[in-house]
Amino acid sequence: MPAASFDHLQSATYINLTTFRKNGTPVPTPVWFVLDEDGRLYVWTEAESGKVKRLRANGRAQIAPSDSRGNPQGPFVAARGRILADETAAREVLARFRRKYGLLFRAFEVMGRLRGGRRVVLVFEPVDEPAETNQPGGVA
């Protein structure tokens, strides 16, 4: 069996990031992302978002390419996620987001600053375990 990877996401604009509540209920969210050359995937989000709280609780996630509404457009990959604590690495990741998403990402950065919320970078690595196939559609 080949090692799990995010290679099939190279050309995607959005992913369906599914995190799990303590009771195991999946919560899908469409998000922007960037990949690095070591096969890790990064998401930029509000520090107090539900996905951050769920990742702190158990780190479990599933990721698939999706449309802007979160409808899966390919296979899910099981992953483990955490908050990226290294500030230098986080700045490098934000530069990747600016390159990939351009002015639209910069507009979201400005709106975030105006709202005053703190942002964090989440980092995900694929794990060699089967992803669930009964993913809910839509966004929670």
Tell me whether strands 41-46 and 60-66 are parallel, antiparallel or unpaired. Answer: unpaired
Return the percentage of the chain with pLDDT > 70, whole number. Answer: 91
Domain count, the chain: 1
pTM of the model: 0.86
Has residue 140 got a pLDDT over 50?
no
Strand partners, 129: none
Residue 72: inside a domain? yes
What is the Cα–Cα distance from 22 to 100, expressed in whole angstroms?
33
CATH number reported for the structural domain that contains residue 108 in this entry:
2.30.110.10
Q: Which domain holds residue 32?
A: 7-126
pLDDT in tens, 40-99: 999 999 899 999 999 999 999 999 999 999 999 999 999 999 999 999 999 999 999 999
Has residue 139 got a pLDDT over 50?
no
- The mean predicted confidence, pLDDT, of the chain is 88
